[in-house]
Amino acid sequence: MTIKNKQVLLANRPHGWVHESDFNIVETDVPAIKDGEVLVKNLYLSLDPYMRGRMNEGKSYAASAQINDVMVGGTVGVVVESKNPAFQVDDNVLGYFGWQLYGISDGKGLQKINVTDQIPASTYLGALGMPGLTAWVGLISIGQPKAGETVVVSAASGAVGSVVGQLAKARGCRVVGIAGGKAKCEYVVKELGFDSCVDYKAGHLVEDLTAATPDGIDVYFENVGGEILEAVLDRLNAHARIPLCGFVSQYNATQPHAVRNFGALLINRVKLQGFIVGEHSDLFPQAFQELGQLVSSGKLKYRETIAEGIDDAPRAFIGMLKGENQGKQLVKLA
Amino acid sequence: MTIKNKQVLLANRPHGWVHESDFNIVETDVPAIKDGEVLVKNLYLSLDPYMRGRMNEGKSYAASAQINDVMVGGTVGVVVESKNPAFQVDDNVLGYFGWQLYGISDGKGLQKINVTDQIPASTYLGALGMPGLTAWVGLISIGQPKAGETVVVSAASGAVGSVVGQLAKARGCRVVGIAGGKAKCEYVVKELGFDSCVDYKAGHLVEDLTAATPDGIDVYFENVGGEILEAVLDRLNAHARIPLCGFVSQYNATQPHAVRNFGALLINRVKLQGFIVGEHSDLFPQAFQELGQLVSSGKLKYRETIAEGIDDAPRAFIGMLKGENQGKQLVKLA
């Protein structure tokens, strides 16, 4: 009996905003696996802003996808057939199979995960996965926050930002989030325990950020770019640090927003470092240990927005780029 | 007999370009020195781009000057009277007396210097002074150049840039300067030994920089900002480093040049750090040792443009901001 796979392919390179027509959903047969291989049924697909960059041609920090390639992405799944002694049927695994229902692997890069009541499978795509590790590496290794300092994080209610803020709170910092809309800001303050949150959609970003950071800004965890970056640059303290993680406000811009106050980096003797988490895997054991303890003890809070079924992945992805999700955006595949 | 001093005061805060009318030159009497004090006759005054920032009101990395303050600046001079046992008449000293013929000090911050045939007094304001230390700290400590990498430095023929390039050459790097005009570029390549130099005034900066950096850019020592910074950002390699030392193209701009390609710092996972040399004094002994050896052995080349007399300081300062000087800009005071 042939198993039917369903895949989402890149159909067109978007110019500006992504449209559902930029994807093509196809059905294929799952081929028979060979010796050494594992067939995985994916349970959840992670949707992340970086995927927008892969849809472009040209230089980014990762190779761009080709037209008709399966869209890339992290997945958690369950082994349904194995000809690899390291994996058994029913093993839960973290992989990088992309936007499809099934994936075949020779075991390289496939990681067994321990799913428990406290740590559901989807967590390995969020607080315990790439977003959580990204938060840890950027904040702790690059941002180096000290107790009493003011840490600001943009996209504060998102999968990365929510972890950044909670890690900074745990280190005794004053934590200010920036998020779009009243509901996200309330969540960040009331549920996640940030000291304050600035709603950039309220129309007075500069005034609100100034009020929320009376002692200036020592660490800015940057996820968005654009006008929010400029507003933050004007509030930096001497020797501030900026882990530069994402620029999501710019990913769909046909004309990038030019930064008017770059000179603030000189005046304040700022350390800024762009990073992608995969280049800091030496820190993963330490990060994973702290995040794992926080998640399993319920101290690290997170939220998920889950789209149902692979056919809905393009819509959910576009919604995430527009900030419609709450917390980690996932697609439930099975 | 009273000694007559002459001082250059800040008369107005310039808006945009500096004019000679923004300064006021006054004659005063040198007061009698007290116990513990030293009277120094200044021989040379250093003129540096950072002084432009002091003329503004508001936040910069140093306190702004007040109207009618003596303009600040580094000086080398000779002790002409001493009531401080640590200094004797005829001692050569490095001080920070500013734009004036005489200075009085209680000895704090005053440093005896060893003037020789190989190391004339003015060198302590240039290759062996603040500019040389700035080059060393930024390039070596922040830039961390490795043999075979491409190092680009703007304001390449200036007091800082010329040292940056020579230090990078000594470490086996490919060194590309950026300077204004054919004469400066020829000097940088033929006299200082850079591999290449881009004349940003020639009208095809992007094309010329691309041609001069076939393997991209690994370290960019930033002195100028503006369009040159943008052109460099488009040529950065992964994991490039940017010591951010100055922004001289912007110091007289009423509207700062907005940087369109900030995202290159993310894409290439760049480390950028703004710095001022005075905050890195822990590195001075190491830097001074290398620079001293290079200067006294004649291996480190430098050039000076010397204005004659304090009355000419305002004109010379404005000329330096416009790039009219060659190498280190000094004013000979006596």
Identity of the amino acid at A5: N
Question: Which of A247, A262, A271 faces B266 most closely, judged by CB atoms?
Answer: A247
pLDDT at residue B2, as a whole number: 87
Mean pLDDT is lowest, of A293-297, B28-32, B251-255, for B251-255
Are A186 and A160 in contact by the 8 Å Cβ rule? The answer is no
Report the relative pairing of strands A23-29 and A4-10 from DSSP bridges. antiparallel
Write out the H or E segment, with its range, that includes residue A316: helix A313-321
pLDDT at residue A2, as a whole number: 87
Residues of A in Cβ contact (< 8 Å) with B246: 266
Identity of the amino acid at B41: K
pLDDT in tens, B288-332: 999 999 999 999 999 999 999 999 999 999 999 998 998 999 999
Are B245 and A266 in contact (CB < 8 Å)?
yes
Is the minimum CB–CB distance between A63 and chain B shorter than 8 Å?
A: no
Q: Mean pLDDT across the stretch B117-138?
A: 96
Quote the minimal CA–CA distance from B185 to chain A in Å.
26
Instruction: Tell me the average pLDDT of chain B.
Output: 95
pLDDT at residue B254, as a whole number: 83
pLDDT at residue B59, as a whole number: 64
pLDDT at residue B249, as a whole number: 86
pLDDT, averaged per 10 consecutive residues of chain A (334 residues), comes to 93 94 97 97 96 84 86 97 98 97 96 93 96 98 98 96 98 98 97 98 97 98 96 98 92 88 95 96 95 94 96 97 93 96
Quote the minimal CA–CA distance from A249 to chain B in Å.
11
DSSP β-bridge partners for residue B130? none
pLDDT at residue A60, as a whole number: 67
Give A 234-273 residues with CB within 8 A of chain B: 238, 244-247, 250, 256, 258-263, 265-273
- Which residue does chain B place closest to A268, by CA atoms? B61
Give A323 or B242, the one with higher predicted confidence: B242
Are A263 and B269 in contact (CB < 8 Å)?
no
Quote the minimal CA–CA distance from B222 to chain A in Å.
10
Are A34 and A107 in contact by the 8 Å Cβ rule? The answer is no
pLDDT in tens, B182-233: 999 999 999 999 999 999 999 999 999 999 999 999 999 999 999 999 999 9
Q: Mean pLDDT across the stretch B170-185?
A: 97
Quote the minimal CA–CA distance from A225 to chain B in Å.
8
Query: Could you give the 3-state DSSP secondary structure of residue A232?
Result: helix
Quote the minimal CA–CA distance from A206 to chain B in Å.
17
What are chain A's domains?
4-126+303-332 (3.90.180.10), 130-278 (3.40.50.720)
pLDDT at residue B58, as a whole number: 75
- Which residue does chain A place closest to B258, by CA atoms? A260
Is the minimum CB–CB distance between A229 and chain B shorter than 8 Å?
A: yes
Q: Mean pLDDT across the stretch B115-138?
A: 95
Planar angle of CA B306, B308, B309, nearest 5 degrees: 130
Chosen from A220, A245, A273 to mutate, greatest number of chain B CBs within 10 A: A273
Residue A6 token pair: 């369903």
Residues of A in Cβ contact (< 8 Å) with B254: none
Residue carrying the six token digits 């009331």: A190
Confidence bin at B333 (pLDDT 50/70/90)? very high
Residues of A in Cβ contact (< 8 Å) with B233: none
Give B 32-51 residues with CB within 8 A of chain A: none
Dump strand ranges (E) for B96-186. 102-105, 111-112, 150-154, 174-179
The secondary structure of A212-270 as a DSSP string is: H-TT-EEEEEBSS-HHHHHHHHTTEEEEEEEEE---GGGTT-SSPPPBTTTTHHHHTT-
List all residues 6 or more positions away from B286 whose beta carbon is below 8 Å from its beta carbon: none
**A274: closest CA among A15, A47, A50, A123?**
A50
A to B CB pairs, distance under 8 Å: 89
Q: Is the pLDDT of residue B12 over 70?
A: yes
Question: Which of A256, A272, A276 faces B272 most closely, judged by CB atoms?
Answer: A272
- Which residue does chain A place closest to B236, by CA atoms? A59
Are B273 and A268 in contact (CB < 8 Å)?
no
Question: Which of A262, A270, A273 faces B259 most closely, judged by CB atoms?
Answer: A262
Write out the H or E segment, with its range, that includes residue A285: helix A284-296
Residue A239 has what DSSP assignment? E
Quote the minimal CA–CA distance from B251 to chain A in Å.
10
Chosen from B237, B245, B273, B281 to mutate, greatest number of chain A CBs within 10 A: B273
Quote the minimal CA–CA distance from B260 to chain A in Å.
4
Predicted-complex ipTM score: 0.91
Cα B141 to chain center, whole Å?
18
Is the minimum CB–CB distance between B180 and chain A shorter than 8 Å?
A: no
Confidence bin at B255 (pLDDT 50/70/90)? confident
